[in-house]
Amino acid sequence: MNIAVIFGGISSERNVSINGGISVCKALKEKGYNVTPIDPSLGTNCILDLDNLNLKSNEAPSLDELHNFNKRSLLDCINSQVFDNIDLAFLVLHGKYGEDGLIQALLELRGVPYTGSGVKSSALSIDKHSSKVLMSAAGIPTPLWQSVHISDAEDFDLLKEIRKDLGQKLVIKPNDEGSTIGLTIVNNGNLDEIANGIRLAGQYSGDVIIEEYIAGREITVAVIDGNAYPIIEIIPIDGFFDYNNKYTKGKTDYICPADIHDDLTDYIQNISITAYHTLGCKGVSRLDFRLSEDNIPYCLEINTIPGFTSTSLVPMAAKALGIEYADLCELIIKTTLNIEE
C-alpha cells in the first residue's frame, strides 16, 4: 500500500509536525508500507529524503519565517503527479493549512483518502469559538469566554466588562492556533496585560479568545474511532503547559492513567466521546481539559490532528492499553480504510 505521510506545512507548529511526521514514516516503513514523506510547503518538489532529514528544534518558527512560505505551494503539491498512485494520505500537519480543513479539501478534490476528520469537522474544531459554542449546546462544560478582535485591545471599557464577567485571572489565546502559540495568562486582571495579550494573540489569528482561568489539574483524553483512551494528567515542573514545557524533555511529568476515581473517569471519557461526535470527528482526536478543584472537567478544545511523535500524548495513552506506536499508526490506517483485523 502506498502511503503519503504529509507533515511540515506552513503553520507555527511546523517543527512539531516534522518531528511527528518522521516518527510516523519510520513506523510505517517498519510495518512494510511503501511510504512517501511529503512536505506540502515545498510545492511540486515536496518529496523528502527521509534518510537525510533531521529532527527539528523545539522552537516554533518566527512570524517572519512563516510569512516567507507561499500558500500556493500546498495547491501545487496536492495537484502534482506525486499523488497519482497514493492510496492514502496520513496527515501529521498541525494548525493552519493542515488541521483546519484546507488540506483535507484539496485531498478530497484530488480523490485521495486521508486520515482524521473531514473538511467541516476540521474547520469547526480548530475554531475555538465555534467548537465551544457546539460543546456548550451539547451540555459539555467549557470555561466562560468571549471572542474579540485585535483592535479591541485599545477599548479599555470593553476590557473592563470582560474582566468583570470572566474574572481577574484570564487566558488569552488565538482562536485557531495550537501548542499554546500566542497564549498569555493574566493573573491579576491588569488591563495593560490583557491588551498586550490580545495584541500577541492577534498576530496569529484574526480572532482572539479570552477565557476564564480554571484552577485545577491539566488532563487530556484521546478518542480514536469513537473510543476514549486512558486519561493523562499533565504536570509541568514549572509554570504552565506552554510550548517549551510541551516539547522539551524533562520539563513536564505525565501520569497515565491519571489518578482519578472511576466514576469521574467514566464521565470525562463519555463527554470526550460526546464532543468528538458533536463536532463530527473521525479517526484520532485529543481533547484537552482543566479538572477544577471541585472535580468539574472543563473542555478547553479539541485537536483533530494531535501531536504524533512516539512520545506524544496520544501514543502514550495507547501504550497504556498495550498498543505500541507502530501498531497505533497501522490501526489508524485500517480504521480510515475500514479494513477489518
Active site residue 301: yes
Q: Which of 272, 307, 310, 330 is catalytic?
A: 307
Q: Are strands 207-212 and 170-174 parallel, antiparallel or unpaired?
A: antiparallel
Q: Which of 163, 217, 286, 290 is catalytic?
A: 286
Active site residue 307: yes
C-alpha cell at 293: 478543584
Active site residue 13: yes
Active site residue 30: no
Q: Which of 116, 288, 312, 325 is catalytic?
A: 288
Active site residue 62: no
Q: In sequence order, what are the residues at sequence separation of 6 or more whose Cβ sits closer than 8 angstroms to the Cβ of residue 120? A: 101, 280
Active site residue 111: no
Q: Which of 9, 301, 325, 330 is catalytic?
A: 301
3-state secondary structure of 315: helix
Q: In sequence order, what are the residues at sequence separation of 6 or more whose Cβ sits closer than 8 angstroms to the Cβ of residue 141? A: 271, 296, 297, 298, 299
User: The dihedral of CA 198, 204, 205, 210: what is its sign?
Assistant: negative
Q: Which of 41, 121, 131, 179 is catalytic?
A: 179
Separation CA 23–CA 55 (nearest Å) = 10
Q: Which of 272, 285, 303, 312 is catalytic?
A: 303
Contact of 179 with 126, CB cutoff 8 Å: no
Catalytic residue positions, numbered: 13, 179, 247, 286, 288, 301, 303, 307
